[in-house]
């Protein structure tokens, strides 16, 4: 935690970026949750049948609130490394250091990830303590995404759902403080 606090203290520097990183599942079968309905009426949430999934790897800039993400068919090291490549390109050469705050999921510390990181010395991984999801601010972004888009959704195809997710991630910037609840409109 001390290393995370030191990195966050540097987040406002023009040559340093601190990114909260995590992955999220997007399921074609909707997550079910509380929702408004008229008294005495029950809302039917159709399920398209066989569940299909896409995965997001996302990065939330701790200082600027910008969101970077990549999509994949599986939640693996390749998805994670594609996100780091997107982050590195986005932050350009003017950033001397990219701190990445993330959980201890095995794809973040795989042999392939460690080898990739040796060739990208600007990126420094800071692992949050186990069972401390509140440390990672991107968890709030994923909650907002699920509350706004994927919970009780009525999309019949995964492509329609992913378009709605992409729209949400676009509208949600800067996060927090944006009008992300309008992403459905």
pLDDT digits (tens, 9 = 90+) for 152-182: 788 888 999 999 999 999 999 888 765 555 5
Mean pLDDT of the chain: 88
Q: What is the DSSP string of 81-143?
A: HHHHHHHHHHHTTT-SEEEEEE---GGGSSHHHHHHHHT-TTEEEEEPPTT-GGG-THHHHHH
Residue 94 phi/psi, 5-degree rounding, is -70, -15
Residue 185 has pLDDT above 60, yes or no: no
Domains and CATH numbers, the chain: 2-27+49-174 (3.30.420.10)
Give the pTM: 0.87
């Amino acid at each position: 935690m001390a290393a995370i606090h030191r990195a966050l203290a540097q987040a406002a520097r023009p040559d340093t970026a601190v990114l909260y990183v995590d992955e999220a599942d997007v399921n074609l079968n909707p997550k079910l949750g509380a929702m408004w309905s008229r008294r005495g009426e029950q809302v039917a949430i159709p399920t398209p049948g066989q569940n299909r999934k896409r995965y997001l790897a996302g990065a939330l800039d701790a200082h600027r609130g910008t969101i970077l993400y990549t999509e994949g068919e599986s939640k693996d090291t390749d998805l994670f490394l594609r996100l780091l490549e997107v982050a590195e390109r986005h932050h350009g050469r003017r950033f001397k250091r990219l701190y990445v705050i993330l959980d201890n999921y095995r794809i973040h510390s795989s042999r392939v990830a460690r080898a990739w990181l040796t060739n990208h010395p600007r990126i420094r991984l800071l692992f949050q303590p186990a069972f401390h999801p509140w440390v990672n601010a991107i968890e709030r972004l994923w909650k907002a995404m699920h509350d706004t888009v994927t919970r009780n959704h009525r999309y019949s195809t995964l492509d329609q759902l992913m378009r709605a997710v992409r729209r949400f991630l676009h509208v949600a910037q800067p996060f927090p403080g944006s009008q992300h609840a309008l992403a459905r409109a």
